[in-house]
Amino acid sequence: MTLLLPPSARGPNSLYYLLLGEYQHCNCNRPPNDLFDEMPPWPPCLQPTLTTARRAAFSSRIRLSSSSPSSPSPPDDQGQQSRQNEEPSLVVVGGGAAGVYASIRAKTLAPRLNVVVVDKGRFLSKVKISGGGRCNVTNGHHLEPVGLARNYPRGNKELRGSFFATHGPQDTMRWFTDHGVELKVPSYSFLLHITHLRLLQEKSASLLIAMSQTEDDGRVFPVSDNSASVVDCLLNEARRLGVSLQAGKAVSSASVTQCGKFLLKVEKRTADLVDYIEANYVLVATGSSQQGYAISAQLGHSIVAPVPSLFTFKIADKRLADLAGVTFPIVKAKLKLDGVHKSVPELTQTGPMLVTHWGLSGPVVLRLSAWGARELHHCNYHGKLMVDFVPDIHIEDAKRILFQYRDQHAKHKVNNTFPTEFGLVKRFWKFLLEQESLNGDTHWASMPNNHLSMIALRLKQWMFEVVGKGQFKDEFVTAGGVPISEISLGTMESKKQPNLFFAGEVLNVDGVTGGFNFQNAWTGGYIAGTSIGTLASTTNIREQQPCLQLEG
Question: Each residue of 379-408: pLDDT tens digit?
Answer: 999 999 999 999 999 999 999 999 999 999
pLDDT for position 217:
83
**Lowest mean pLDDT segment, chosen from 147-161, 309-323, 468-482:** 468-482
Average pLDDT over residues 144-156: 96
Per-residue confidence (pLDDT) for residue 444, from 0 to 100: 97
pLDDT tens digits for range 235-249: 999 999 999 999 999
What band does 270 get if pLDDT is binned at 50, 70 and 90? confident
Whether the Cβ atoms of residue 106 and residue 9 lie closer than 8 Å to each other: no
Name 281's bridge partners. 90
Does the pLDDT at position 144 exceed 90? yes
Region of 40 on the Ramachandran plot (φ > 0 left; ψ -120 to 50 alpha; else beta): beta
User: How much is the pLDDT for 339?
Assistant: 76
Q: Which residue has the higher pLDDT, 185 or 200?
A: 185
Which strands sit side by side in the sheet containing 114-119, from one edge to the other? 244-247, 114-119, 89-93, 281-284, 500-502, 493-494, 487-488
Q: What is the predicted pLDDT for the residue at 41?
A: 54
Q: For Cα atoms 344, 220, 510, give the angle at the middle one, nearest 5 degrees.
A: 35
Reported in sequence order, the residue ranges of 322-433 that DSSP labels E, i.e. its strands, are 327-336, 348-355, 359-361, 383-388
For residue 552, pLDDT over 60 is answered with no
Q: Select the highest-mean-pLDDT range: 145-159, 335-349, 466-480.
A: 145-159
Q: What is the pLDDT of residue 272?
A: 83
Beta-strand ranges (E) seen in 234-375 are: 244-247, 249-256, 262-268, 273-279, 281-284, 304-309, 313-315, 327-336, 348-355, 359-361
pLDDT band at 216 (very low <50, low <70, confident <90, very high): confident
The whole-chain average pLDDT of the chain stands at 82
Task: State residue 44's pLDDT score.
Answer: 52
List the single range of 130-134, 151-155, 527-531 with lowest mean pLDDT. Answer: 130-134
Q: Is the pLDDT of residue 191 over 80?
A: no
CA-CA distance, 225 to 376, in Å (whole number)? 34
pLDDT band at 61 (very low <50, low <70, confident <90, very high): very low
- pLDDT score for 201: 40
Question: What pLDDT, on the 0 to 100 scale, is given for residue 542?
Answer: 55
- Dist. CA 546–CA 540, nearest whole Å: 11
pLDDT-derived band at 85 (thresholds 50, 70, 90) equals low
- For the cut 70, the answer to whether the pLDDT of residue 83 exceeds it is no
- Per-residue pLDDT tens for 408-443? 999 999 999 999 999 999 999 999 999 999 999 999
Residues 119 and 249 sit within 8 Å (Cβ to Cβ)? yes
Residue partners of 505: CB distance under 8 A and separation at least 6: 98, 287, 288, 477, 478, 481, 517, 520, 521
**Mean pLDDT in residue range 298-319:** 95
Is residue 445 within 8 A of residue 407, CB to CB? The reply is: no
Residue 53 banded pLDDT, cuts 50, 70, 90: very low
The pLDDT score that the predictor gives to residue 271 is 76
Least confident window among 259-263, 280-284, 431-435, 472-476: 472-476
pTM: 0.80
Q: Are 497 and 473 in contact (CB under 8 A)?
A: no
pLDDT in tens, 6-51: 444 334 333 333 333 333 333 333 333 343 344 455 555 555 543 3
Residue 320's closest CA among 452, 432, 472? 432
Q: Which amino acid is at 182?
A: E
Mean pLDDT for the stretch of residues 201-229: 67
Helix ranges (H only) for 87-220 are 97-109, 125-133, 145-149, 163-166, 169-178, 187-192, 202-210
* Residue 545, SS3 per DSSP: coil
- Closest by CA position to 307, among listed 483, 94, 481, 157: 481
Contacts of 147 (CB under 8 A, 6+ apart): none
CA quadruple 330, 335, 341, 345: dihedral sign? negative
Tell me what the mean pLDDT of segment 300-326 comes to. 95
Lowest mean pLDDT among 100-109, 155-164, 202-211: 202-211
Contact 308, 373 (CB under 8 A): yes
Higher pLDDT, 495 or 84: 495
Q: Are 60 and 17 in contact (CB under 8 A)?
A: no
pLDDT at 340: 77
With a cut of 90, say whether residue 105 has pLDDT above it: yes
Instruction: Give me the pLDDT at residue 11, please.
Output: 41
Going from the C-alpha of 545 to that of each of 4, 7, 132, 540, the distances in angstroms are 12, 8, 53, 10
Distance CA 152, CA 499 (A): 27
Average pLDDT (293-303) is: 98
- Which of 271-285, 337-351, 424-438, 449-463 is the least confident region? 337-351
1 pLDDT band, cuts 50/70/90, is very low
Order across the sheet with 249-256: list the strands: 249-256, 262-268, 273-279
* Pick from 343, 325, 255: nearest CA to 294: 255
What phi, psi does 369 have (nearest 5°)?
-65, -35
